[in-house]
Structure 1
Amino acid sequence: MLTFPLKKEWYEKIRSGEKTVEYREVKPYWTKRIAAEIARNYPNENKKYCLAMTSIASRIGSSIEFKVGECRLRLGYTDRYLSATVSKIETVDGKCTDLRIDKPVYAIHLQDVKVTE
């Protein structure tokens, strides 16, 4: 299951429903974790295929439209969590996100957010 540590500001906005997309810079760290989660949800598929699919998504404008699964959103490194379903992951220009960076960013679309504290 993907776990995203969040600063209090973003945790509260996701909890209230104000924010429905979490952003992470496209880096090997997140690419590997996303690919592993896809492979877990599609056990009959070759893991290398899932890695290739995820690397394709590292290009701005690409997206992963198949089921990624449930994730946890953690307030910093505390024991307070939200759970949510990841409906889609796409790659967008980081300048247009709350990260405001000039790099590709994974836009992780969240649905059915629930408090699991």
Structure 2
Amino acid sequence: MNQQTTPQYAVLIYEAVAPENLPPDVMRAHLDLPARVAEAGGRIVAGLGFQDPTTATVIRSGLLTDGPFVETKEALAGVFIMEARDLDHALELARLTPIVEGGVEVRPLVDFQVL
């Protein structure tokens, strides 16, 4: 019997501004995000920021490459996992993410426990 769970979504944060160059108010807004999401009826389950993209190593077809694979002005800066009622609610909550020069990508997560 499958257990009903609250849908979870990954919110991938893309930013053209390096974390150390983000304005202090934007950094505070990131730290306040869990409370703002909770006020809007969702829940941040986890959140992580990533080191500079130059620290990345990509494995593609068995070959290692330094740095991100695709040239872009924006880099994947972090991710958080949140619970929301549905995709529309997740998109509404993701709009609360402070971004200077970039955007967010919302992806539903697969709950392997209910498959």
Instruction: Using structure 1 for the length normalisation, give the TM-score.
Output: 0.31
Where relative contact order (Cα < 8 A, 6+ residues apart) is larger, the structure is: 2
Larger Rg belongs to: 2
